[in-house]
Structure 1
Amino acid sequence: MNEKEGKLLKIYDGSAPVEEDLFERSYVNHLAWTLAVLFGGLVIWLAIALVNAENQRNALATGQCADPLFKGELDKKCLVMVRSRDHWWQHLWYGMTHLQQSNLK
């Protein structure tokens, strides 16, 4: 190899691919992200359950689902469909801030 070829090869030496970087590597921790998504879904599911339970508890506490035919009984269809407060976040806020058990009469 003569001097000109040596200089030419030296110039283009940096354009050769680095063999360590030829294959893609993922630096994302898939286990951590999977657990984060699962726990986020669990928190949302528990929040929905708390909203539904607090909605029914408030309806029972305020007497909104009394059966019109049988005095002292509950209308179970009403408990499924009742909206005892204006917004869902009011149920969530009340359920998260009032942790003591209330006594229903």
Structure 2
Amino acid sequence: MNTRPVVLVFLLIVLVITSQFEWKQQIGEAAAADPAAARRRQQLLAREDAVKEKIILSQEKNIQQLNQLIESLQRQLLHCRGSNNTVHAATAAAATEVSEVKGHEIIEDENRR
């Protein structure tokens, strides 16, 4: 008695599984048989590819602009470093001159005494 319901359930499962395969196969054949749908699908894929390419080109352009900005900032940094070194050298030279003048003044003061 228990085997009959088990066999019926098993057959029902087999029937459902096979009908699913047939249904998917029919949908695939119907889609392949409809040239208008295939054309629309190709147009959508072409549009997607065009959008992706535009995005990539835009990103490449942004990367180039960023690289140019980086180069510009590096040049400005080098210029500032050069100016800073010049200021430090001038300051050091002026400090040296001031110390030499003070040294001469001290020597002159000692000589006067």
- Bin the TM-score by the shorter chain: 0.3 to 0.5
Q: Which has the larger radius of gyration?
A: 2
User: If the length of structure 2 is used for normalisation, what is the TM-score?
Assistant: 0.40
Higher relative contact order (CA 8 A, sep 6+): 1
